[in-house]
Structure 1
Amino acid sequence: MGTSMSVRTKVLSLDTMNPNVKNIEYAVRGPIVARAAEIEKELKSGQKKPFNEVIKCNIGDCHAMGQPPLTFLRQVTALLADSSLFKSNLYPDDAKQRAARILDDCGGQSVGAYSHACGVSVIREDCAKYIESRDGGVPANSDDIFLSTGASEAVKSILELLSTGKEGRDQVGIMIPIPQYPLYTATISQYNLRAVPYYLNEADNWSLSIKELRRAYEEAAPSCRPRGLVVINPGNPTGQVLRREIIEEVLQFAKEKSLFVLADEVYQHNVYAEGAKFFSFKQVINSMGPKYGKEIELASFMSASKGYMGECGFRGGYCELANIDKDVQAMLYKQLSARLCPSVIGQGLMSVIANPPKPGEPSYESHEREKAKVLGDLAIKARMATETFNRIPGMQCNPVQGAMYAFPSLQLPEKLVDEAKAKGMEPDAFYCTALLEEKGICVVPGSGFGQRPGTYHFRMTILPTVEKLKIVMQAFKEFHEDFINRYNGLIAVNWTGLAAATAASNSAFSKWRLLFRHDWIKNQ
């Protein structure tokens, strides 16, 4: 008697999983970065390369690139984690006072206890005082601030709140800058929102044009419901700092079109260029009179990961809400309670950033020296990157005014573009793959951030040390001139690992194209 055995299929497969998750792409950790990790393993195994190390310029991870942590920040977090250190003479009184104040507001006086879902009360108060001081006295209420596991979690919470789950013309559209930080397109996909791209003006140092905002809105409106407007200032990946008058125009447009404004301001400490100055959206709104200051709905985001701190791994951040309907705010806070709380040690770090040593305190002078050193080095590296790229034929780079990135444009020969497309790759991804294979430098192609069709870019962090960045810049010059010259007469390129990188890039960048394939973009 025969028996038949049924094969049990997986509950979850690529066919049955949430399709919105499959649409997510995140270029700064994409296929080229995966190949960089493979090359690192190959180097460790003894394989010979034209270089001795992979220099990862793909992500804004300050400490991974050699930036030392600030002493005072780490002293307070050490005290928070180990209360026995209060007995040590190695820790200054101002660090102990801050740690004790935070612990007194934690359950059981321990960062191992859950906090309130929106964060430890005294830390939210610190953030409110920081915002009020930053904005020249514009009031800030700690009840309108929630702490988050990095700014990314807060951004996702607000975008989820804006989503209605509807399809077709009722699907919610979110206006995002192009180029943009891939968190936004990834989250927009995840929450079944519609991306409404507006192009930054590269010819005007990546500034924001109201004419372009209006074009993007009007072309999207027949097919979705634009409801939110994302602005990244200082810019990622483009490194610009918005002028105050531009922020005012953006807010006028947001009021006219009844748009919820998401102000990504995580790089607010990173401003280098002469004449550039950071203005928060909240400060500008409140200077425009009550029609703006009391009406425009705004969420602004800050992070411990950027600035002079660079403490990515602690995952500290906050979001301040302005003019939000109180019933909606209550629903948001209810939603946040499902996460229990953000990282309490990360909250503690955020408190120290908001409440650094004051003049006259023991740690003030050393803290200010360390902070000035980090920001001073970043300013040197911003100029170095800008000047070097602009000296390379076939490259053009706007001044890196702020943030941590250069975003140069590439003039690529037609033969190079054709070869890349024949391999199923975006031309700038093809370029960046060659750079990695031949020089060991990992950057992110501009196609991973979005760009005007027919233009090519890459994003590079300016985070390597000054000495290492000099090496990177020299390698770029050598590579670019040699690589471009090959296509004066087409020479076959045979890189180790190209097949794998090509396959991965083909998949990743074709999904990117699908994400932005809207009829209203066709004439750009």
Structure 2
Amino acid sequence: MASDYSSTLNDLNPKVLKCAYAIRGEIVTHAQVLALCDHPLLLDRRETKALFSADSIERAIQILDQIPCRATGAYSHSQGIKGLRDKIASGIEARDGFPADPNDIFLTDGASPAVNSMDLQVHMMMQLLIGSENDGILCPIPQYPLYSASITLHGGTHISYYLDEETGWALEISELENQLKTARSRGVNVKALVVINPGNPTGRVLAEANQREIVEFCRKEGLVLLADEVYQENVYAPDKQFHSFKKISRSMGFGEKDISLVSFHSASKGYYGECGKRGGYMEFTGFSPEIREQIYKLASVNLCSNISGQILASLIMSPPKVGDESYESFSAEKDAILSSLARRAKILEDAFNSLEGVTCYKAEGALYSFPRINLPDKAIKAAEEAKTAPDAFYAWRLLNATGIVVVSGSGFGQRPGTWHFRCTILPQEEKIPAIVSRFTQFHKQFMDEFRG
């Protein structure tokens, strides 16, 4: 029964319920033609075995066997190719230690060249949950701006909860409770909570105990937990470990009917960063069959995600294993990338903390640092005269002077009266000392210019 679940049809946007898309309805589902990989004829050539590892060839054959028409340009099932969803479900199960159902997984990509898999995932969820401006979503501040933009685009109410910078961007349950209470007192129907772990832009990795508190909060308050877990492989702090919210909820003894959870993952992020492939997935758990029909309908409107992206998403969740020919080279490359990112994060953290008026907490994960900068009053006044935010003013001056691009904290949200900028840790490691040198020189000149 739908009423046994924490979310019901009454929680959905009524426009979704009214939507119909007959060409992907019940009848066509049974006649669906699945798509294939690119260039299958390569498998018949002698030189292929010399150029590709045996396990890579075997994996390609397995995928081709799952996609009868043998060409990536065809349509697939709206949720994605069943065999690839099987692989992802197996990967989730291996990661979490709890069962995963391929029918809970929706493979996604972007709807246009400007939209990647995460964009489409978030827009789909906001379309599903927001029916009017009275519907609200709790989002962190600072946050990846996609969430606030999507909520606004779909006509909902963005409810900010502030991460605690003084404790290294911790997520305090008391803050969630206060913001939820305030929103409900204004008559807002709060539908969901967004949590980004590891954090973007903060780089914070949530502690397991904190995740348990978040799960209990959502269960108690009847909120859908929207878990952005796209940087799950990028954890640098030795005392931290990534745990999916699904794993946490199941380890607490909560089942399908106790909490509604959507997990996001993307091939555009992580240590692989295949942004152009437009591949990712959403795992839906804790939703009634009636709601799942509506989710499938929304997926059907987009027909299906691109096959190359689907394949990539499955490979991310089922990498080479011990004994495979490519395992050692894969592991060496992955470890080298993650180790280098950890070193880059540390170098930048130390550099920022050495600057006058700048404090930067450790980037425990993801791909970013989010330093706080205390700007002189004279600089703040100059920014006001330029009709721009003070941190944006600083970022513009930095760009013009050095060619270094950072994004102002005002673009991600921040407590009033504080200023930040987001800096990626992605420049090549050998180039970072020169970047630090230019940044340090600029900052000293900027502070000297606007001091007193």
Per the TM superposition, whether the score is higher than 0.5 is: yes
| Aligned with 1:148 (options 77, 93, 108) | 108
Distance in 2, matches of 1:117 and 1:470, equals 47
2:11 corresponds to: none
Partner of 2:279: 316
- How much does 1:151 deviate? 2.7
| Whole-Å separation in 2 of the counterparts to 1:107 and 1:446 | 49
* Secondary structure at 1:108 match in 2: coil
SS of residue in 1 equivalent to 2:185? coil
Alpha-carbon distance between aligned partners in 1 of 2:451 and 2:291, rounded to the nearest angstrom = 60
Equivalent position of 1:512 in the other structure: none
Q: Deviations over 1:395-452 (max 9, x none)?
A: 0000000000000000100111011012110000000000000000111000000000
Classify the secondary structure of the residue corresponding to 2:435.
helix
Q: Does structure 2 conserve the Cα–Cα contact (< 8 Å) formed by 1:107 and 1:114?
A: no
CA distance in 1, matches of 2:141, 2:129: 20
1:357 aligned partner: 320
Query: Do the aligned partners of 2:37 and 2:70 also contact (CA within 8 Å) in 1?
Result: no
* Deviation (angstroms), 1:219: 1.5
Decide which moves more: 336-345 or 293-302.
293-302
Q: SS of the counterpart of 1:468?
A: helix
Q: Once the two structures are superposed, what CA deviation does each residue of 1:67-96 show, in whole Å capped at 9, x if it has no partner?
A: xxxxxxxxxxxx932223222221122111
Deviations 1:325-354 (CA, angstroms, capped at 9, x unpaired): 111111110111111110110111111111
With normalisation by structure 2, the TM-score equals 0.88
Say which SS state the counterpart of residue 203 (structure 1) adopts. Answer: helix
Name the counterpart of 2:193.
229
Q: Is residue 2:235 matched to residue 1:278?
A: no
1:82 to 24, 35, 39: 39
SS at match of 2:444: helix
C-alpha separation between the residues in 2 aligned to 1:391 and 1:116?
Answer: 54
Q: Distance in 1 between matches of 2:68 and 2:137?
A: 39
User: Structure 2: how far apart are the matches of 1:331 and 1:108?
Assistant: 28
Give the corresponding residue for 1:138.
98
State the distance in 2 between where 1:151 and 1:145 align: 14
* Residue 104, structure 1, aligned to residue 65, structure 2: yes
In structure 2, the residue matched to 1:116 is 77
Residue matched to 1:347: 310
Which residue of structure 2 lines up, in the alignment, with residue 402 of structure 1? 365
CA contact (8 A) 2:257 2:287 kept: no
Number of residues of Structure 1 aligned to a counterpart in Structure 2: 405
Q: What amino acid is aligned across from residue 444 of structure 2 in structure 1?
A: E
Deviation per CA, 1:288-325: give whole Å up to 9, x if none.
Answer: 123x6641100001111111111111011000011111
SS at match of 2:281: strand
Matched letter for residue 128 of structure 1: A
Unmatched runs of 5 consecutive residues or more in structure 1 = 1-78, 490-524
Map 1:434-453 to 2 at 5 A.
434-453=397-416
Shift of 1:107: 4.1
1:129 paired with 2:90, answer yes
What is the CA deviation profile of residues 261-294 of structure 1, one whole-angstrom value per residue up to 9, with x for unaligned ones?
100000000000120111110000011123x664
Aligned to 2:387: 424
The reply to whether residue 457 of structure 1 matches residue 411 of structure 2 is no
Report the AA paired with residue 40 of structure 2: S
What residue ranges of structure 2 are gaps of 5+ in the alignment? 1-35, 110-116
> What is the DSSP-based 3-state SS (H/G/I as helix, E as strand, rest coil) of the residue aligned with 2:37?
helix
Higher RCO by CA contacts (8 Å cutoff, separation 6 or greater): 1
State whether structure 2 residue 128 is matched by structure 1 residue 161: yes
* Aligned residues of 1:132 and 1:140 also touching (Cα < 8 A): yes
Per-residue CA deviations over 1:485-511 (Å, capped at 9, x if unaligned) read 10125xxxxxxxxxxxxxxxxxxxxxx
Q: How far apart are residue 244 of structure 1 and its match?
A: 0.6
What is the CA deviation profile of residues 227-276 of structure 1, one whole-angstrom value per residue up to 9, with x for unaligned ones? 11000000000000000111111111112211111000000000001201
Provide the rounded CA distance (Å) in 2 between the counterparts of 1:446 and 1:408.
9
Conserved? CA contact 2:224–2:259, under 8 Å: yes
Mapped pair 1:172 → 2:105: no
Partner of 1:8: none
Cα distance, 1:386 vs. partner?
0.9
For residues 378-393 of structure 1, what are the structure 2 equivalents within 5 Å?
378-393=341-356
Aligned residue in 2 for 1:25? none
What is the deviation of 1:134? Answer: 0.5
2:267–2:280 CA contact under 8 A, matched in 1: yes
Which residue pairs with 2:21 in the alignment?
none
Checking the alignment, whether the CA contact within 8 Å between 2:321 and 2:327 is kept in structure 1 is yes
Q: Which amino acid aligns with 1:103?
A: L
Instruction: Select which of 413, 425, 430 maps to 2:376.
Output: 413
Q: Secondary structure at the match of 2:69?
A: helix
Residue of structure 1 equivalent to 2:3 = none
Partner of 1:35: none
Contact map agreement 1:406 1:460 (CA 8 A) in 2: yes
RMSD: 1.2
TM-score by length of structure 1 reads 0.76
CA distance, structure 2, for counterparts of residue 372 and residue 389 of structure 1:
26
Compute the displacement of 1:208 (Å): 0.1
Aligned 1:206-355 pairs, distance under 5 A: 206-223=169-186, 224-290=188-254, 294-355=257-318
Q: Which runs of 4+ in 1 moved over 3 A?
A: none
Between the aligned partners of 1:384 and 1:253, the Cα distance in structure 2 is: 37
For residue 222 of structure 1, report the CA deviation from its aligned partner. 2.6
The C-alpha deviation readout for 1:466-502, integer Å capped at 9, x for no partner, is 111222111111111110110125xxxxxxxxxxxxx
